Structure 1
């Protein structure tokens, strides 16, 4: 684990959201690009996503995966 994400998970827990879909891999070009969890509360949704091997500056090390992630977010397409 290059960058700890424990603090982010602890913050998400304070929001009292329900896990709709637990950790699942998301793919780019047939390869695992990272993992995502979908949280919900009524009509509100929150997706927590990671980029596999992204390190502290993910766009520098994994540009294709980061672009795919943000492109899907803009298009309202689930990872």
Structure 2
């Protein structure tokens, strides 16, 4: 943009607010999982908004077989949380000491978790 161009007034690029709410991601997850996409689901174990037990209940409702049962995952030799993997390429992990925005509370641990997952390495 050059100095002679004027910046217009900012406005939304859509004309209406959201027309509907998505009350559940269940169907979307089942659909994407059936297509073979990997997924990483994680919860801070101090999350009071969506407790990890609620996330576990959501996962149980998917009825996927457990591939690798509960075990700790480590960062710098310390337990960073616990993880379980499922036969549909889904990984669930808790982040020890993490709140609702786990990466805000435990950035080193979440970076390690995400990096390992992206690399297809075990947590």
- TM tier relative to shorter chain: 0.7 to 0.9
Which structure has more RCO (C-alpha within 8 Å, separation ≥ 6)? 2
Match of residue 27 from structure 1: 74
2:63 is the counterpart of 1:16 = yes
Q: If the length of structure 1 is used for normalisation, what is the TM-score?
A: 0.85
Match of residue 74 from structure 1: 118
Residue 2 of structure 1 deviates from its aligned partner by: 2.4
Question: Aligned residues, how many?
Answer: 76
Residue 17 of structure 1 deviates from its aligned partner by: 0.8
The C-alpha deviation readout for 1:3-37, integer Å capped at 9, x for no partner, is 21222112111211111222100001111111001
2:49 is the counterpart of 1:2 = no
Match of residue 39 from structure 1: 86
Counterpart Cα distance in 2 of 1:6 and 1:26: 18
SS at match of 1:70: helix
Counterpart Cα distance in 1 of 2:116 and 2:100: 21
Structure having the larger proportion of residues in strand? 1
SS at match of 1:8: helix
- What value does the CA root-mean-square deviation take over the aligned residues? 1.3
Q: Give the 4+ runs in structure 1 shifted more than 6 A.
A: none
Q: Which runs of 5+ in 1 are unaligned?
A: none
